[in-house]
Structure 1
Amino acid sequence: MMNDYSYILAAATVPLFTGFGLISGLEPASVGLRFYTTERLHEGKIYRARRAHVQFVESLFWYGQLDNDIDGERFRTELEKHFRPVVEQIHTKTGLSRAALWRLAGDAIAYLFLDTGRRFDTVKTAKAAAMRILKVPGSPLANRELQYFELAEFDRHQQEVRETFLQRGGCCRFYQVEGGAYCSTCVLKTPADRDDELRRALRDQLGVS
């Protein structure tokens, strides 16, 4: 639940900031979410997929800049304002650690900064902004493990290809469900195992052995 919710909220807000400099007011009462399931066809089979619609009920936006500390602080404050009651509700109902739930929120936010940075060709600026927002001492979003890192491989023409990855700070526990596995950048993996798996995937993507 926390993992899905975090990625949905981050997907609706981070691209606005990274791509257009828009910061939305995120008071819980100002954001509407509708969860639903649908069916999708993949490789000849029909699967049920979870989806969500996000609507900003109150159109309160600020215009800012991705590399501005004050704007980053405002975005962080709005994110914390929104996630705080979500974390409290899930903690109360499940007994799961508040810190662990906040880590999942931070992971989602950091991933969307990286993803949208790629889409808007502002990866370096987006990564820096994410770290300023997610590494503030005393913030519930801050944790030491969360970070970006790069790996490099050579393509068929012996040209170096560098790829940026997100080292997650939290664990979604997907490996504990039936048929589950560790995520490629799971915090529970050793850096060596993580990098080896990612390098193999990158080589496959480049078509080299």
Structure 2
Amino acid sequence: MSFSDQVHHPLEEALEVQKPLWSEFLVECGGMEEGWTTARAFFGDAAAIDAFLDYERSHHSHMDDRTCAALMMIDYCYVFMLATIPLVAASGIVPDLAPEHIALRMFDDRHEHDGEVHDVRRADIRYLSRRFSTDRPSLGRHGDATLLSGRGELCDTYRVAIENHFSVLVAALVKRSGLGRPALWRLVADAVAGRWLEVGRQLNCLDQARQDAMRVVKHTGSPLYNKQLHFFDLTLRDDNREPIGSWTFRARGGCCRYYTVAKGNLCSTCVLKKPEIRDAELLETMRRHIALLTAGQRT
């Protein structure tokens, strides 16, 4: 590899460009250091998995093992998808996501969402390998690159990388919690679609984001595939039936099982919720949101 390749490495440049998205944790290239572990080692460490499940249970002591496993998968997916999907969507790069080439440094944090502060478990991410795949010929000339034929193959490559990475964690959580493989894979697919939608909004390429996400999660034969997961649009209208605004949502294919904890409460786009009830509740939430924005502009 030439000196210029080392200075101007496409993966490192992409990480720098996407850095503003990663305010909650680090995403970087580097080597193994004290305090870090590979994803492969973490997935294979029964004590570490138990500690993560115990962390989930610390919020609600009566949670069963299956609910703890679902929430652990959601927390891990939050970090993993946020660390990877912006690279695919914005930079045309799929890093080497083999579990032995991803390093983790776990930590606990506090996160505000919808006006409420929650304890969360996060992880800094370090890419131990600088190998990557890309659909961009200008990047494909780099010595660490594998050049792909186009956007479709880029999404397929990311899907296969996810399947290979998460299969180890899925197997560990099935053994430890008894939650079924399909249920866990549905949570992974939900995370892919949800994060890609958010990235599409941020990059102002929502249509492309929807297409790419569906390419990843709707491949026949993939463990990510399920019929329920999809995107849908809702339009809020005023009393004269004139449109006020439209939004795109992800309809979940999986269930976080939080309804077993919070007295039967279902998430806003839960797969267990009837679509007509889901849509009515989302429209009401949108209406309240618009009212608050309007009131704020008047003050």
Task: After superposing the two structures, state which structure 1 stretch, 69-78 or 149-158, moved more.
Answer: 149-158
Find the aligned partners of 1:124 and 1:137 in 2 and give their Cα distance: 22
Are the equivalent residues in 2 in contact too, given 1:26–1:78 (CA < 8 A)? yes
1:117 aligned partner: 200
One-letter code aligned to 1:31 = I
1:22 aligned partner: 93
In terms of Rg, which structure is larger?
A: 2
1:198 aligned partner: 282
Are the equivalent residues in 1 in contact too, given 2:174–2:181 (CA < 8 A)? yes
- The unaligned stretches of length 5 or more in structure 1 are none
Are the equivalent residues in 1 in contact too, given 2:103–2:128 (CA < 8 A)? yes
Are the equivalent residues in 2 in contact too, given 1:145–1:187 (CA < 8 A)? yes
Residues 121-165 of structure 1 deviation map (CA, whole Å, 9 limit, x = unaligned)? 110001001111111110000000000000001369955311000
1:187 aligned partner: 271
Deviation at residue 104 of structure 1 after TM alignment: 0.2
Find the aligned partners of 1:56 and 1:117 in 2 and give their Cα distance: 24
CA RMSD in angstroms, aligned pairs only: 2.6
Measured at CA, do residues 180 and 51 of structure 1 come closer, stay the same or move farther in structure 2, by a change above 3 Å?
farther
Match of 2:253 among 158, 162, 169: 169
Task: After superposing the two structures, state which structure 1 stretch, 31-40 or 161-170, moved more.
Answer: 31-40
Match of 1:99 among 171, 178, 182: 182
Find the aligned partners of 2:178 and 2:115 in 1 and give their Cα distance: 40
1:34 aligned partner: 105
**How do residues 50-199 of structure 1 correspond to structure 2 at under 5 angstroms?**
50-64=121-135, 68-154=151-237, 158-178=242-262, 181-199=265-283
Find the aligned partners of 2:116 and 2:167 in 1 and give their Cα distance: 39
One-letter code aligned to 1:78 = A
Find the aligned partners of 2:191 and 2:116 in 1 and give their Cα distance: 29
Are the equivalent residues in 1 in contact too, given 2:75–2:121 (CA < 8 A)? no
Which 4+ residue blocks in structure 1 deviate beyond 2 angstroms? 38-51, 154-160, 178-181
2:56 aligned partner: none
Q: TM-score, normalised by structure 1?
A: 0.90
Deviation at residue 176 of structure 1 after TM alignment: 1.1
Find the aligned partners of 1:69 and 1:50 in 2 and give their Cα distance: 33
Are the equivalent residues in 1 in contact too, given 2:235–2:243 (CA < 8 A)? no
Determine if the alignment matches structure 1 residue 207 to structure 2 residue 291.
Answer: yes
Are the equivalent residues in 1 in contact too, given 2:76–2:122 (CA < 8 A)? no
Measured at CA, do residues 194 and 53 of structure 1 come closer, stay the same or move farther in structure 2, by a change above 3 Å?
same
Deviation at residue 62 of structure 1 after TM alignment: 1.8
1:26 aligned counterpart, secondary structure = coil
Deviation at residue 50 of structure 1 after TM alignment: 2.6
1:59 aligned counterpart, secondary structure = coil
Residues 56-109 of structure 1 deviation map (CA, whole Å, 9 limit, x = unaligned)? 1112212226x7211111111111110110100101111110010000000000
Q: TM-score, normalised by structure 2?
A: 0.64
One-letter code aligned to 1:22 = I
Are the equivalent residues in 2 in contact too, given 1:145–1:169 (CA < 8 A)? yes
Number of matched pairs: 208
2:76 aligned partner: 5
Measured at CA, do residues 95 and 46 of structure 1 come closer, stay the same or move farther in structure 2, by a change above 3 Å?
closer
Deviation at residue 55 of structure 1 after TM alignment: 1.2
Find the aligned partners of 1:198 and 1:98 in 2 and give their Cα distance: 30
Identity %: 37
Residues 142-199 of structure 1 deviation map (CA, whole Å, 9 limit, x = unaligned)? 0000000000013699553110000000001011114673110000000011001100
Find the aligned partners of 1:42 and 1:194 in 2 and give their Cα distance: 20
2:236 aligned counterpart, secondary structure = strand
Are the equivalent residues in 2 in contact too, given 1:6–1:105 (CA < 8 A)? yes
Find the aligned partners of 2:274 and 2:85 in 1 and give their Cα distance: 29
